Each structure stands twice: as structure tokens, then as C-alpha cells.
Amino acid sequence: MIKINSQNVLEVSDLNTWYGDKKILSDINLNVSHKEIMVIMGHSGSGKSTLLRYILGLEKTKTGLIKLLDKEITNLNKKELYRLRKRIGVAFQSGALFSSMTVRENIELPLHENTELDEKTIHI
């Protein structure tokens, strides 16, 4: 288990996940320091996108701990997650949409994160 400290911008500790009987992420532990550049590489189906979805709080962890910018993301509500995501940037290959979300949810995401619009207005 990785020791958690506030010098890291990202801390992942003991992260595991499954889809059905298939284990996708197994005991993932990593720390990323301020100004450190990290690349996540692997073959198709190796869990890269799954890991990113957990780091961004798009999916809740089943096991393990994720801290992003010194915030334990599994305990954050939707509004707190949106506020936190405003402070980070993620580049996806070919500008891909989040596959775990509907087209509508992909369109609404930046509206939640970058505006003060209420739900009713966003759902027009």
C-alpha cells in the first residue's frame, strides 16, 4: 500500500476492479507528483480507460483509494467532483467521448463543470 501524502497530485492505492468474472485492474498503486508527466499505455482491453474513469470520478471505486489534488474522490458529491475536474486536464485519443456515458451526458459534462446553469436549463 502506498503512503498517502499531499506532495502528490494523484494517489491511487490498492485499486481493483472486475467486469463480471474478468479482473480488469489488479492492485494498482501509483503516485504522480506535481509537474510530473505520466502516460498510461497498454493493449486494447488492458484497463487504461477504466483507470481514467476511476481517477476522474466517473465511476465509483469498489476497492482502493484515489486522491486527486489532495481530495479523496470517492467521498465527493457530484458538485464537488465538477469543481475538482475544473482544475485538471485530460487529453483523449482523437477527442473521444467518454464511452461509459451517453451522448447527452458527454454534452452536459462541460456545462456542469464550466457554468452555473441549473439542471433544468442543462436538460433542455
| Structure confidence by residue, pLDDT tens digits, 65-76 | 999 999 999 889
58 in any annotated domain: yes
Specify the pLDDT at position 97.
66
61 in any annotated domain: yes
pLDDT digits (tens, 9 = 90+) for 20-31: 898 999 999 999
- The pTM for the full model equals 0.69
Q: Which amino acid is at 59?
A: E
User: Do the Cβ atoms of 53 and 59 come closer than 8 Å?
Assistant: yes
The domain of 55 spans 8-122
Does 91 score more than 70 pLDDT? no
Give the residue ranges of DSSP H helices in 9-118: 48-55, 78-85, 103-114
Provide DSSP, 63-75: SSEEEETTEEGGG
Between 93 and 113, whose confidence is greater?
113
Q: Checking phi first, is residue 47 left (phi over 0); if not, alpha (psi -120 to 50) or beta?
A: left
User: The domain that contains 109 carries what CATH number?
Assistant: 3.40.50.300
Confidence of residue 11 (pLDDT cuts 50, 70, 90): very high
User: Do the Cβ atoms of 61 and 50 come closer than 8 Å?
Assistant: no
User: Do the Cβ atoms of 33 and 7 come closer than 8 Å?
Assistant: yes
**Domains contained in the chain, number:** 1
User: Do the Cβ atoms of 23 and 80 come closer than 8 Å?
Assistant: no
Confidence of residue 2 (pLDDT cuts 50, 70, 90): very low
